[in-house]
Structure 1
Amino acid sequence: MSRAKPAPLNVFVIDELREFRRLIGEGRLLSEADFRRKRMVAPNRLARLKASGSVFSVDVDGSAFYPTFFIDPTYNRRRLERICRMLWPAPPNERIFFLTQRSGALGAITPLQALAEDENYKRLLVLAHGWASEYSRTVVTIHDGKFSAKAKLPLVCTGVDEIDPRVNIFLRARNALHDGGNLSPERQYPPYPRLRAATVFITCETLPGTKTDREARLDVRVARGQAYSTALFESGIGQDMAPVIVSDDDDIVTVVRKVLDSNRR
């Protein structure tokens, strides 16, 4: 007997809490205890799955509830969990919507249905990556001068990139400053200045919201053909970065790019 197709989850409603309660009543959202029992997973294993983004839950009345598609044998579990890890930057309710709504990019099938066939799954990987990246962006600002808590330094350049916040912070910052990217000012006319000292802030913005987290500050100093940099992370940990060879003709944006290139692995 063929399985009946579940109706799409309508999470974009005025009363989201009422919608989730309806799904609980229909058995399409499970309590953690029921989910662990049906998935046959221990609490510590479930915690690791959630931490990695492989599974997720929504909060209803202060308790975690899990979508039943995580225990449905219809769907390729390995592929589903990989997609869910990609969707991690988005809020859980948005992830449910993405997975259960038909997509024109997938030929009017849902991402869950796309898991079954190789070509559809390849298209889904591309779609999921682009969709999830819209929920988080890394912002890099470069300022003229040595950092001072009492002084507002002149802004030289701002770079922005939509990228998964779990990616290495220096790689994200470098992507935000890449040539031809989303830079302001976008043209080097007049050229960016050649500076002996600069302060760089790396910030992660989570959408929608927007929630802003200052992740790190780089103190950059140029002397005798080399750039010396120290990173101070939000946790309070400092890191001296390896000196980088620079040219007398390098403007400060080029210098910062070289510093990030040497530390993004």
Structure 2
Amino acid sequence: MASGGWDIAMRHIDQQYDLPQFVASSLVRKIAANGFRLPAADRSKFQKLPDEVIARIEQIVRESYIEAGEDVGGDVLREHLWQQASVARREMIASGELLTPTEFKNRIGVSEKRLARLIEEGSVFGVDVDETEYFPALLADPLLNRKRLQTLCRIIVPADPMSRLDFLTSQRGSLGERRPVEMLDDDVDFKSVRRIATAWAAEWSRTIVKLYAGDHQLEPSDVEPLYTAIAEIDPRKPLWARASEALHLHGYEWPLDPHRVIPIFTLFVSRQAVGDSTPIPEACVQILVVGERIRIRIVAAAGTAHNSKTIAAGEHKTFVDIAKQVVAYLLKH
């Protein structure tokens, strides 16, 4: 199956650099859409990468698109990539790599109702081809440990279907150049591939926590946040667990040394998937520090009661410490 420029670039970057999928994907997309140069306005978003690494990745992207015989041109490129993907998927149907729902459920011996349940829980997945759903024949291979294969499928749900299929069937350096589907029988191998799959799945979504001075109900668009923490985290984890992890992991974080004391600030949590330019708002919490007490007003948060709480401030000194304490409280309640 022929590879496009994006696929080739992602593969070469993965071979040369240990970058999260989200970062690599964002770099390729921005570089390819800007004449094979990272826009100056976006350089600060990748400040942890040295200039020579950015330059090398720009070269990789340019060479990959040339290798694939593609050009960059906004809507034209997107349409071309869509057409290319459609052709490739039709070829997979013709070769038997993708099966109709009827063929697939017959091969794995389940009813239509059971198949729907397997899809819902992520144990199997379909691929859209011309607005019709097909299923990878690999998932029905009788020679593979189906129970463990379905376990892997549930782990990698955050990625899009074709990326999941690519993960299952591609050699990976982190697995000793073996493919995940080759590591289902041995207990030690399966433990390793589960760990790699969990880390890989988390790279397809990131949780963003931003803190703004003052009292807000909507995230301000005209001022810079006091503090931002971003981390690649599985989106299926609970909201406050992800927010806490982002604040403690320090995946992307600025300013680096926030010692200011801010008596009134607002915490926003959002989630962003690979390929989506706009994060999805998830929570807004207004925080007021009065002496030894912290007043919390939850403006919006999925699965959390929208009300006010007061908790002890303890010995925390900075607004980031306070934010961590508030999130820890919300995680427990």
Root mean square deviation of aligned Cα? 2.6
Counterpart in the other structure of 1:117? 186
The aligned length equals: 255
Q: As a proportion of its length, which structure holds more strand? A: 1
How far apart, in 2, do the equivalents of 1:127 and 1:133 lie?
Answer: 10
How far apart, in 1, do the equivalents of 2:205 and 2:329 lie?
Answer: 24
Counterpart in the other structure of 2:169? 100
Query: 1:195 corresponds to which letter in structure 2?
Result: I
CA 215–70 in structure 1, closer or farther in 2 if over 3 Å, else same = same
Q: Which runs of 5+ in 1 are unaligned?
A: 1-7
How far apart, in 2, do the equivalents of 1:150 and 1:156 lie?
Answer: 12
Counterpart in the other structure of 1:5? none
Counterpart in the other structure of 1:23? 92
Query: 1:50 corresponds to which letter in structure 2?
Result: I
Counterpart in the other structure of 1:165? 235
Are the counterparts in 1 of residues 229 and 250 from structure 2 also a CA contact under 8 Å? no
Q: 1:126 aligns with which of 186, 195, 202?
A: 195
Looking at both structures, which has the greater relative contact order when contacts are Cα pairs under 8 Å and sequence separation is at least 6? Answer: 1
Counterpart in the other structure of 1:184? 254
Counterpart in the other structure of 1:257? 324
Written as runs of structure 1 = structure 2, the 5 A alignment for 1:10-159 is: 12=7, 15-147=84-216, 152=222, 155-159=225-229
CA 242–109 in structure 1, closer or farther in 2 if over 3 Å, else same = same
How far apart, in 2, do the equivalents of 1:22 and 1:208 lie?
Answer: 25
Shift of 1:98: 0.8
Range 79-88 or range 223-232, more displaced: 223-232
Shift of 1:127: 1.4
Are positions 1:231 and 2:325 aligned together?
no
Are the counterparts in 2 of residues 141 and 157 from structure 1 also a CA contact under 8 Å? yes
How far apart, in 2, do the equivalents of 1:67 and 1:90 lie?
Answer: 15
SS in 2 for 1:176: helix
Q: As a proportion of its length, which structure holds more helix? A: 2
Identity %: 29
Shift of 1:226: 2.2
Counterpart in the other structure of 1:212? 279
Range 109-118 or range 159-168, more displaced: 109-118
Are the counterparts in 2 of residues 205 and 213 from structure 1 also a CA contact under 8 Å? yes
SS in 2 for 1:239: coil
CA 225–112 in structure 1, closer or farther in 2 if over 3 Å, else same = same
Q: Which runs of 5+ in 2 are unaligned?
A: 8-67, 69-80
Counterpart in the other structure of 2:270? 203
Are the counterparts in 1 of residues 158 and 205 from structure 2 also a CA contact under 8 Å? yes
CA 221–35 in structure 1, closer or farther in 2 if over 3 Å, else same = same
| TM value normalised by structure 1 | 0.85
